[in-house]
Each structure stands twice: as C-alpha cells, then as structure tokens.
Amino acid sequence: MVDLKGQYEHIKERVNRSVIEVIESTAFINGPEVHQFQKELEDYLGVKHVIPCANGTDALQVAMMGVGLKRGDEVITADFTFAATVEVIALLGLTPVLVDVDPMDFNIDVAAIERAITPKTKAIVPVHLFGLSAKMDEIMDLANKHDLYVIEDNAQGIGANYTSRNGSKKKTGSIGHVASTSFFPSKNLGCYGDGGAIFTNDDDLAHTIRGIVNHGMYERYHHDVVGVNSRLDSLQATILRAKLPMLDLYNIQRQDAARKYTEAFTGIEDIDTPYGNCSGESFICDTCDCHVFHQYTLKITNGKRDALVKHLQEKEIPCGVYYPIPLHSQKAYKDERYNEDDFEVTNQLVKEVISLPMHTELDDEQIDYITKTVIDFVTN
Ligand SMILES: *Cc1c(COP(=O)(O)O)cnc(C)c1O
C-alpha cells in the first residue's frame, strides 16, 4: 500500500546524517531537534502552538484532557473512522456518540451531528477521513451555537487545505479549538516509528497540554493535574524535519496518482471514484490541495468488493478495506443507544469501499496495471 523504502532513497543522505548527529549529541529526549521541528510545523500549518507527543492516539486523548472533558460528557464523532478516535473517548470515561457519515465524501454528516446534540454534549471530533477535510464551516457553526469544543482528528489530513465559505484557506488542524495528528510511518507525514502532535491557537490550552504530556508538571516535580508521559523523541523529530519540507511535494505526488486513477475509472459502471476536492466533485484540479489522498478509496457498487479484494491479492496488488466494520458494531463500542437505521451510510460503505495503493512512488506502469486489473474484474 505504501513504498517507504522508495521514498527514503530520495532523502537518505539528509536523514542518515541527521540521525547520526542526534546519536552523537545524545540529546534523545526533548532535544533541540524536537523544538526545531515544533517551530517548523507551527510555521507550515499556520498555528500558534504545536505540542509533539508519542503518537496520534495519545494526541487525541491529551487534546480531550486539555479542554477539560469530564466523565459522562458526550463526545460526537464519526461511525466510519479508525477506532483510535472512539477508543480515547471511552478510555477517558466520556460517552462516545457515534453518528453516520456523508455517502459522497465519507466524512461526518453534519445533520446527524445536529440530531445527536443533547445538553450533555461537550465536543465534536471530526476526522478528515482519507485526507479530505470535513465540513468545517458547518461544524464550527454548530459548535458555536451549542458551545461545544471541536477537536479535529487530522491524522489522515496533514497538509490538506480547507476553503471556508468566505474564501479563506486554512490548513486542516488549524480550524477547530484543538487538533491531533499522527506521524505513523504510513501517514502522509510519517516518521520511522511512532510520533504524534497536538495543535492549537489557544495559548492557555497549549500551556495546559504541555503540562499534561509531561506527567501533569508545570514546575519540576510539582504535579498539578493527572497527566501522561507522551513524548516525541529526537530521532523521530530529526527524520520529520527532513521530511516536512517535502510534504507538499509528497501530497502533490499523491494527487497525481489519484488523478490518474480517477481518469481511468471515470465512466466505468459499478465503480464510484472518490471526491477529488472539497467542492464535491471528482476532478482534482492542478492547484487543488484540499484532498491529500491519505487513501484512494473506490466504491464497488455491484456487490463484487470482497471478490475484488481476493482477486487483487492473487494478482499481488495490495489493497485495503478501510473500514470493514462500523464502529457502532464493534464489540467494544456496541451500545443499546444505537439504532441501525441511523447508520444507513456506514453500514453500506463497509460493504463497498476498497482502497488502492497510494503513496509517493507510484509510477504510470503500476497505475495502469492496477486500474486495468480492477476494471477487468469489476466489469466482467
Ligand atoms: C492513524 C490514526 C490515528 C492514530 O494514530 P497513531 O499514531 O497510530 O496512534 C488516529 N486517528 C486516525 C483517523 C488515524 O488514521
């Protein structure tokens, strides 16, 4: 699904040199590389504060702790996402409220959020799924109206832009009250191990969160709140510093691959191509940077999805089903509160979606082979 080796070959010298420098410096934890990376990411995203941490799941958890969510508070998130999002809500003793998604762009359905709001609701967690921003204008409007926090799960969306109705363009993760991301190796900005970060423009919240990731300490050995231990280490930070200047190029390479996939699949019966941009069309324009294609996900609408997965495996073409089970049906998150009729879209998507190889090293020959194999199988 990804070609981390091929990507590494292009930045090998820089990465190897800086990794050795970190080892020689022995500043493994909280060293200058972490601080530099933090500054560089703040500049790139246009946010006031980046707080690095150990992984994207911690980032979400710490963001929720930071805004002061309490046991019993309800947190609304999408039924169709990676489990980390709902996991941390449950872990903190908050009440997850899963809602359906939009069949067109796979992102959280704003009308469903509105229906789910109760007096106990305290936060909304939109996920920029597969690299395309959730509908942030509408979500921020709802949040303002009901006095809710918006915590963006930006693990799949780093580098993507969101264009507001007033025309202003912002990076995903810089719009809500606080956001989280992951530097897991296969993410659009991945390190060579685990890593994550929290973003916010709120000075007080940033201060609170810096303490939480460091055992609740604001002054050495004074523990004011219950915190966690969640750090990005200097080796990962130095690798991320080598890769951050490449992120826009990496995302363009993904968009190029997506454009070629979509060209090949357009007009083919029973294959639905994904949205290419946030205006809700399939084309990916030359300057479009609102979809960074963490995944390129098709819908196979003639019931052949599972057979296609098998067929591609036989042809040694990697593919993935993200996600095969709606979160509300997972053993850990099942709840009597949920009604199947409220999850019509996720229940259908889990049967139809298939994600194709998507990374920075895809060449025309590979894309040609993949698209021909898919089309041959689905249409015969
Ligand atoms: C990857 C991912 C996470 C978790 O990130 P980790 O670094 O693996 O903990 C959270 N949310 C979403 C949507 C993800 O894709």
State in Å: Cα 220 to ligand 1 middle: 31
For ligand 1, pick from 184, 240, 297, 358 the residue to mutate: most ligand atoms within 8 Å of CB.
184
State in Å: Cα 25 to ligand 1 middle: 31
How far is 158 from 181, CA to CA, in rounded Å? 7
Q: Which tens digit of pLDDT belongs to each residue from 62-105?
A: 999 999 999 999 999 999 999 999 999 999 999 999 999 999 89
The answer to whether residues 256 and 236 belong to one domain is no
Q: Which tens digit of pLDDT belongs to each residue from 216-268?
A: 999 999 999 999 999 999 999 999 999 999 999 999 999 999 999 999 999 99
The answer to whether residues 290 and 203 belong to one domain is no
Burial (Cβ within 10 Å: 0-12, 13-18, ≥19) of residue 71? exposed
Q: Residue 169 corresponds to which amino acid?
A: K
- Count: domains in the chain: 2
Q: Whose CA is nearest to atom 3 of ligand 1?
A: 56
> What was the pLDDT predicted at 281?
64
CB neighbours of 48 closer than 8 A, spacing ≥ 6?
42, 200, 201, 202, 203, 206
> What was the pLDDT predicted at 283?
65
Reported pTM: 0.96
How far is 153 from 82, CA to CA, in rounded Å? 10
Q: Is the peptide bond before 323 cis (omega within 30 degrees of 0)?
A: yes
The answer to whether residues 283 and 145 belong to one domain is no
CA-based nearest residue to 66, from 173, 237, 180: 180
The answer to whether residues 167 and 50 belong to one domain is yes
Give the CATH number, domain containing residue 257. Answer: 3.90.1150.10
Task: Give me the residue label for tokens 């939009």.
Answer: 102
Tens of pLDDT along the chain (380 residues) come to 889 999 999 999 999 999 999 999 999 999 999 999 999 999 999 999 999 999 999 999 999 999 999 999 999 999 999 999 999 999 999 999 999 999 989 999 999 999 999 999 999 999 999 999 999 999 999 999 999 999 999 999 999 999 888 888 999 999 999 999 999 999 999 999 999 999 999 999 999 999 999 999 999 999 999 999 999 999 999 999 999 999 999 999 999 999 999 999 999 999 999 987 666 666 665 555 789 999 999 999 999 999 999 999 999 999 999 999 999 999 999 999 999 999 999 999 999 999 999 999 999 999 999 999 999 999 99
Q: Residue 41 corresponds to which amino acid?
A: L
The answer to whether residues 123 and 222 belong to one domain is yes
Atom of ligand 1 lying closest to residue 156 CA: 15
State in Å: Cα 55 to ligand 1 middle: 8
The answer to whether residues 31 and 145 belong to one domain is yes
State in Å: Cα 56 to ligand 1 middle: 5
> Ligand 1: residues whose CB is within 6 Å?
55-57, 81-82, 84-85, 127, 153, 155-156, 182, 184, 194, 196
Atom of ligand 1 lying closest to residue 196 CA: 7
Query: At 145, which helix (H) or strand (E)?
Result: helix 136-146
Give the domain extent around 29.
4-99+106-245
The domain boundary, picked from 179, 211, 245, lies at: 245
The domain boundary, picked from 196, 227, 245, lies at: 245
